[in-house]
Chain A
Amino acid sequence: MRFAMLLRTELRRSWRRLLVVSMAVVASVSTLTVLGGLGLGVYSGVVEPLLPRLPLRLLKIEPRAVSIGPIAFDVASLGGGLDDRALERLRALKGVDAVYPIVAASFPMRAVGGEGFIGRRIQTDVFATGLSSELVHDDVSAGYTFDDVDAEGRVPVLVARRLLELYNTTVAPAIDKPRLSSEALIGFEFELVLGASVARAAQTGDPMVRHVARIVGLSDHANLVGITIPEKTLRRWNRWWAETRRGETQRAETRRAETRRAEASRAEASRAERPRASERDDDPLSGAFVRIEDEALVGEVSAAIERAGFRMDETPKLLGVAVNVGLIVSGLFLFVVIGLAVLTIAQAFFLLLRERRFDFAILRALGARRKDVRALVVSEAAVVGALGAVGGATLGVGLLLGLEAWFFAKLPRLPVQLDHVVSLSPGLLIGAVGFGFMASSLGAVVPAMMATREAPLDVLRGSSG
């Protein structure tokens, strides 16, 4: 059968109805493309980079009350119910394999250096946490140790892998410096001044000690906004700080008591809290890692941990919830759009075929077989579906690109540099185009079968009277 000829005349004839079909295809395919591209893009460009890449069976626990997280320098606010005694309770939970505290520094600390990288000497307050060498030993680069201050008096330091990425994506371009490789970073030395702060003037009598620090590895366990040193070292330093401070405070108080007796009682009262915290002989904890015996127990154990009154690091969970909510909402939306599209397509074809019922009867009376007529209808649908699908995908890509441009133009500079928020994966585009094509073609099959069910003579006689 000279199919193309017939197809062309029929397409031309029914273009109005077919336009409705192709609109429905365009709408559903572009929605599919936009939602899919946005979903995949937000996941791969925003969510995934934010999620810590920690083993599934390692949970991170946070102190209850801390809301500004590890940025808080006021270590007295840390703790929030999480201390070494609390960790014992965690260890006792069924399914818990090991618990590693994240020890916080109870004293200010300043880092000095950076000539090698940034080209000038800078100094900045740093926040240090202490982690067990057992937990992070896989993150320590070959040839280095992460145990305690080494023989030459150097402190091993781990840096968050994410921090390097942040530096490379935001800081480096901003200050016009090349990106850093992890190799370049390992072995880098700088000076740590314990007890000193750039932001806060030292109190009289605060002790000050200088150490050389050396980066020995990149870690996902390491704290994101500071440095991570061996737990052993940090606990010792905390003790040193507390003891020296206690001594200094007492001496200072004696001096003050001698000169300003009148104010003594007030001063004592105002400082009452800190000594008490130190007297506990506990280190402030900024959290803990809990390793679970088996991945299968993660849900169970984390529930138990929450029941025991601890707070899980909810970032992954919240992101997970956000992603799920996003998925559900866009899924529903997609469902509605696709449902409407399929209904529209089917309805358009039913109308179209009812209008052409008589024509099909003529074609069949002239010798078209049932399958010829069906093939004609499905081919029309396929042509329209393909055009609509390609148009819809093009529209979707345009919308996605526009959306991304708008997003980057409108949004303030984020702490995390986003590489992309939409994804134009070929798989998605092929899938969306395929969907549109199939929806239209398959949408025509049933109407086409119904249209060829009648005997042509019955149709023709009905019309001619």
Chain B
Amino acid sequence: MLSSNDVLLELVRVQKSFLDGETSSGARRTILGGIDLEVHAGALMAIVGASGAGKSTLLSVMSGLDVVFDGEVRLNGRAIKAMSDDERARLRNEAFGFVFQSFHLLEHLTVAQNVALPLWLVKRSAKSSKRATDDETDRIREVLDRVGLGDVSPSASVRRLSGGERQRVAMARAIVHRPHILFADEPTGNLDDATSALVISVLDDLRRRGSAPSDRGTHGDGGTHGDRGKHADRSKDADRGALGDGGMHGDRGALGDGGMHGDRGAPGEHSVRCAVVVATHDPRLARRCDRVLRLEKGRLEEVAGDALRDALAD
């Protein structure tokens, strides 16, 4: 079992309701009815449930996009609601990745520019920009390779991409900055089988190996043990990220002290493992997850075995 140290994100009695649009009585419809949840590093977690159950709402609350709720969402012990707007922005920029249900790409940008956006938004000390640009270009190539878009020209306009390609550009954008938690809202919703399989393997790979690069051209191999040198590099990469020393508050990173390095059993190994939270209908995706939770009538239940099969049959 994971120790409590591994808890990245914690939901405590999260409640959210909307004014019921169908009745003019002013009654409120509860979407999230007091949800408790812990997200551990390296977890691949699925939220399943009927359409309209509140899966997207839950992801928004977890990712700090939505702060209008009762209860607490804590990132490494820190209440997200208590943060300033700018701090939350920084969190979304550095610690979280988000794949929107409808992608939300910037249509006027190229593939590479869309993927680069989170990097552009990072507040960085003025480093040698030439190197930064080179690193950035490499990094964008890496993530595009990783989501299976190695053949797409980075300078192509996203307007010309197919739905599946756009989905994967959104995914590349969500992982380019090496987030610690990736939220994906129905990431396989509109994809054909082959692409879905690819996306699923990327997500699985991500939580196992973190958002550091896999070997070039061997995307989706699902391998957990690359060579040690690579992992050491990744570890260094992590130090530059949101959790690194120069993070959010000087000595206190966005996730707090040592949050990311809690499971560092073997030094340099799996140190940037990413938690992945998906909202999905897709049984293939749900089956690959180590936790499946069903959201129904505002309650979240862990499902497994037959219950899982039933849940996914919905």
CB within 8 Å of B: which residues of A? Answer: 1-3, 5-6, 9, 12-13, 359, 362-372, 456-457, 460, 463-464
Contacts and interface: CB of A to CB of B under 8 A. Distances in A.
28 contacts: A1-B120, A1-B121, A1-B123, A1-B124, A2-B120, A2-B121, A6-B120, A9-B109, A362-B105, A362-B106, A365-B92, A366-B93, A366-B98, A366-B117, A366-B173, A367-B93, A367-B94, A367-B118, A368-B93, A370-B85, A370-B86, A371-B86, A372-B89, A372-B121, A457-B60, A464-B101, A464-B102, A464-B104
Nearest to B110: A9
A366 B176 CA distance: 12
Interface in B120-139: 120-124, 132
Contacts of B65: 365, 456-457
B299 interface: no
Nearest to A12: B108
Nearest to B94: A367
A181 to B, nearest CB: 62
Question: Do most interface residues of chain B lie in helix, strand or loop, or is the interface mixed?
Answer: helix
A460 B101 CA distance: 11
B109 to A, nearest CB: 6
Question: Do most interface residues of chain A lie in helix, strand or loop, or is the interface mixed?
Answer: helix
B104 A362 contact: yes
Interface of B: 60, 65-66, 85-86, 89-94, 98, 100-102, 104-106, 108-109, 113, 116-124, 132, 173
Contact of B86 (A2, A6, A369): A369
B184 to A, nearest CB: 14
A368 B104 contact: no
A366 B116 CA distance: 11
Contacts of B109: 9
Nearest to A371: B86
Contact of A365 (B101, B104, B108): B104
A433 B251 CA distance: 46
A9 to B, nearest CB: 6
Contacts, number: 78
Contact of A367 (B60, B92, B124): B92
Nearest to A465: B102
A138 B5 CA distance: 98
Contacts of A359: 106, 108
Contacts of B120: 1-3, 5-6
Contacts of B101: 464
Contacts of B132: 2
A377 B215 CA distance: 40
B90 A367 contact: yes
A366 B113 contact: no
Nearest to B118: A366
Contact of A363 (B91, B108, B117): B117
Contacts of B86: 369-371
Contacts of A368: 89, 93, 121
Contact of B89 (A3, A5, A367): A367
B122 A1 contact: yes
Contacts of B94: 367
A367 B242 CA distance: 12
Contacts of A3: 120
B290 to A, nearest CB: 27
